[in-house]
Amino acid sequence: MATTPTQVRIDAEIKKQATELFESLGLDMSGAVNMFLHQCVLRGGLPFAVEVPKYSEKTLEAMAQAKKISRDPKVRGHKTINSLKEDLDK
């Protein structure tokens, strides 16, 4: 199979997150993009629904707050439900 180099412009943060995700799945960016394009051709369109989510402002604010909290190194995480329960009981 012949390949051809292709350039696309991607948001730097999205590329970083996608690269980490693909690596955890055993893929590189090229493999993931090829897989996506194959699925587009096989399905005759995008392999997922494209829609505008209809979240309320309150939900969007909660999602932004959760994202901020999840990236805060000072916030303690829990690996087990028992650990979480212990902290909640304090």
pLDDT tens, residue by residue, 37-76:
999 999 999 999 999 889 999 999 999 999 999 889 888 8
Contact (Cβ atoms closer than 8 angstroms) between residue 62 and residue 52: no
- Give the up-direction half-sphere exposure of residue 85: CA atoms within 13 A in the CB hemisphere: 3
- pTM score: 0.58
- Give me the residue spans of the domains in the chain: 57-89
Q: What value does the mean pLDDT take over residues 5-17?
A: 95
Query: How far, in Å, CA of 90 to CA of 86, rounded?
Result: 7
pLDDT at residue number 5: 92
Q: Which amino acid is at 35?
A: M
